Structure formats: C-alpha cells, structure tokens
C-alpha cells in the first residue's frame, strides 16, 4: 500500500480549532496535477499545499496551492502554515532549515522568515510576492447582492468596492459596521452574476468585506466569501488582508509611512484569526507588505494512494 504523509495546522491562531485549517503535503514528489486536485477536494479546506523540490537550488522548495476546485498562484495562510510545518524540520530535500526560506510559486518567489522560541517555530512571516495592483471597481449593488444586504450598507467614502491584489485578486468593500458585517450571508446567485460581470479577478469572484475600528483605523474586522470556489466563508485570508492593507495605505494622505495593520477574521464562524500586516510606503508607493501570524499543529496522518 502506497501512502503519503500529511500534517494539518490551524493558521493565524495559537489556539487549536480556531484560525484557518491547512493541510500540508511536505513531500509531493510523484503526484500528478490531477491527484493534487483530488486530494485538495477531499480535504475540502480552503487550501492544501503540496511541497516539491525547488527548480532553482537557491530556493528552499516549490509550493503549489490548491483550493477545492483549482490551483491558485498565491495565498497567505497556506504560506504561513507551510513555513511553520517545514520550519519544524532539520532539513528540506537534503538542505538544512534556517530561519529564512524561499518558496517558488506561480506568483513568484515568496520570502519567509521564521520566529523561534526554545527550538520550535512560534510564528512565521511572509513577504507578498507581487506589488499592489488595483483593478476595476465593483458596483455597490453587486456587492450587496452577493451577501444579501441593502446597497446602502456598502461604504464608499474612502473608496468604491474594487479589485486589489498582491498576488491574488479579491474584490474588497467596506461595510457600515460590525452588525452589518455580521448580517452578511452569501447568495450564490449573486456571486454567479458578479463573476459573469468581471474580467480582472483571474479566478472565481471572491469578496472580502471589512469594517475599520472607529478608535484605530488600522484595526480591521473582516469576512471573506468565495462560494464559487466551494469556500462559503474563509476564517482567515492572508492574501486578501495584504491586498486590502496595501490599498488602504496607498490611499492614506501620507507620502511615506510604515504601518502595522491588524485584521481579525473568522469571528462570526467561531474560528477567530488574527493576521498582522506590516506595510511600507515610500514616495506615495507601497513598496513592501509582510504577512505574519502564529500557527498550531492539529493532526497528522497518511493518505492512501492505492491499495
């Protein structure tokens, strides 16, 4: 019987059964694309990662990321969680593991730093692989229809709903308050219509909704919905948080700034996550976005490849 080992971790939390679960296949050599997709579909997590030897020896590994329906070029919690798992090892494909890793991904090179305590990894930080890009705006009515709200619930004072990306595109929109955010319910027909209307996302329409704290605009509560990708709601979305943080810093009037943005997500699902984002802006241009968070191991086991 051929088997394949896996580990699951909860990402952006230090409490088991909170945060965003991730399955990591730390040695995916020999798996076909189709097999990877079937395994990801079977787990039915928002993402599963498959680790392969790097194509360039200067890098640590090649990491492929699959949702239940497709491969994607980049995502936040899969990188943070994969780095946490690999950081517990003494070597990866014959090379020793230090405090910095480099992952080859479809979106580019993802640089990782590991935070350690008493010999174990306590948290990881990743640098977004692409600069901020801002795409088309999305009508407030489209956003509202997707999540069963009145269009007046969408706030447009700072920005209209818009596509933003640092490696993976999301529609981001601000809502009026926490009660409104909690009332959001995904409407599949609304998402199907929205996907048909847009051409800039590069994947199925995914919607990131947020509310800023009245006491600190850099503290944010968010929710992410991607029902077309079999993810009705995601408890922690690092790539969307990074895109939003970069976009809000870009919109800020200061020309030069370094900001720590904190995104709390998954609260309404009972899987609270905390995502830290350090954003640098120089000369009016966002130059760097670092996504960081804690992880906790949950399960390990074997996948049966064939009888």
Instruction: Please identify every residue annotated as catalytic.
Output: 47
Instruction: Give the tokens for residue 207.
Output: 């919607």
Return d(Cα 79, Cα 194) in angstroms, integer.
28
Phi, psi of 33 (to 5 degrees): -55, -40
Q: Which residues contact 204 (CB under 8 A, 6 or more apart)?
A: 69, 70, 191, 195, 226, 228, 229
Return d(Cα 229, Cα 160) in angstroms, integer.
24
Please, is 149 exposed, middle or buried when counting C-beta atoms within 10 Å of its C-beta (0-12, 13-18, 19+)?
buried
Return d(Cα 16, Cα 246) in angstroms, integer.
29
Return d(Cα 201, Cα 304) in angstroms, integer.
35
Q: Do 49 and 85 meet the contact criterion of CB atoms below 8 Å apart?
A: no
Phi, psi of 137 (to 5 degrees): -80, 160
CA quadruple 35, 238, 300, 5: dihedral sign? positive
Q: For strand 170-175 and strand 154-155, is the pairing parallel, antiparallel, or unpaired?
A: antiparallel
Return d(Cα 174, Cα 160) in angstroms, integer.
8
Owner of token pair 């895109």: 243
How open is the CA angle 217-222-226, to the nearest 5 degrees? 145
């Amino acid at each position: 019987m051929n088997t394949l080992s896996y580990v699951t971790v909860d990402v952006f939390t230090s409490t088991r059964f909170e945060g965003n679960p991730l399955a990591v296949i730390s040695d995916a050599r020999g798996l076909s694309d189709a097999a990877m997709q079937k395994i990801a579909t079977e787990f039915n997590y928002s993402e599963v990662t498959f680790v392969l030897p790097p194509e360039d020896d200067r890098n640590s590994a090649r990491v492929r990321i699959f949702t239940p329906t497709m491969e994607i070029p980049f995502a936040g919690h899969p990188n943070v969680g994969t780095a946490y798992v690999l950081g517990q090892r003494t070597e990866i494909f014959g090379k020793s593991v230090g405090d910095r890793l480099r992952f080859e991904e479809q979106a580019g090179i993802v640089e990782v730093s590991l935070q350690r305590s008493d010999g174990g990894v306590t948290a990881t930080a990743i640098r977004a692989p692409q600069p901020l890009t801002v795409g088309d705006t999305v009508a407030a009515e489209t956003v509202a229809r997707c999540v069963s709200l009145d269009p007046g619930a969408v706030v447009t004072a700072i920005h209209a709903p818009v596509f933003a990306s640092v490696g993976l595109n999301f529609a981001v929109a601000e809502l009026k308050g926490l009660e409104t955010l909690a009332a959001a319910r995904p409407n599949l027909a609304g998402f199907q219509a929205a996907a048909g209307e847009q051409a800039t996302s590069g994947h199925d329409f995914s919607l990131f909704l947020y509310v800023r704290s009245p006491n600190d605009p850099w503290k944010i509560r968010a929710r992410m919905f991607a029902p077309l990708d079999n993810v009705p709601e995601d408890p922690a979305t690092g790539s969307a948080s990074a895109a939003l943080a970069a976009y809000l810093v870009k919109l800020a009037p200061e020309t030069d700034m370094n900001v720590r943005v904190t995104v709390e997500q998954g609260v309404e699902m009972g899987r609270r996550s905390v995502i830290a984002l350090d954003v640098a802006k120089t000369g009016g241009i966002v130059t760097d976005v670092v996504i960081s968070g804690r992880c906790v191991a949950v399960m390990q086991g074997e996948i049966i490849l064939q009888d």
